[in-house]
């Protein structure tokens, strides 16, 4: 399992529109092969900052499957214009996990 992580800085005052369009765009990622789950969370300390976390079965499900799909064009069209600066994306794999 691979965790995609992106810190998203949204242009000031566009947060509500971004959140609305994120919900719409979600349909374009959740149908892709190898997608497991995703979540958007908003930063407490910096209100125009968000974190996107997406769980994929494999790295390639994201980098090849999603990014080369027609769905990704729709996702980009809906969301990429909100970001400033344009985010970098990293992938992580599990080392340790515990639940209370």
Restricting to residues 63-82, name those near its own copies by CB under 8 A. Answer: none
CB of 98 to its own copies, least distance (A): 5
Name beta bridge partners: 2.
Answer: 56
CB of 70 to its own copies, least distance (A): 18
Distance CA 44, CA 95 (A): 26
Write out the two tokens for 6: 């992106």
Only segment of 32-40, 70-78, 79-87 that touches its own copies (CB under 8 A) = 32-40
Among 9, 59, 69, 83, indicate the residue that binds its own copies (CB under 8 A): 59
How many other CB atoms are found less than 10 A from the CB of residue 54? 23
**50 sits near its own copies (criterion: CB under 8 A):** yes
**26 sits near its own copies (criterion: CB under 8 A):** yes
- Nearest 10 degrees: CA dihedral of 58, 60, 66, 69? -140
| Angle, alpha carbons 67-29-41 (nearest 5°) | 110
Query: Which residues form the interface with its own copies (CB under 8 A)?
Result: 2-3, 5, 19, 22-23, 26, 30, 35-46, 49-51, 53, 59, 90-100
């Amino acid at each position: 399992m691979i965790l995609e992580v992106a810190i998203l800085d949204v242009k000031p005052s566009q947060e509500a529109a971004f959140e609305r369009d994120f919900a719409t765009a979600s349909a374009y990622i959740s149908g892709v092969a190898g997608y497991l789950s995703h979540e958007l969370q908003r930063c407490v300390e910096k209100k125009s900052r968000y974190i996107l976390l997406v769980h994929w079965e494999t790295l390639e499900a994201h980098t090849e499957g999603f990014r080369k799909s027609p769905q990704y064009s729709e996702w980009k069209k809906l969301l990429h214009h909100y970001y400033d600066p344009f985010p970098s994306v990293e992938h992580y794999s599990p080392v340790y996990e515990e639940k209370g």
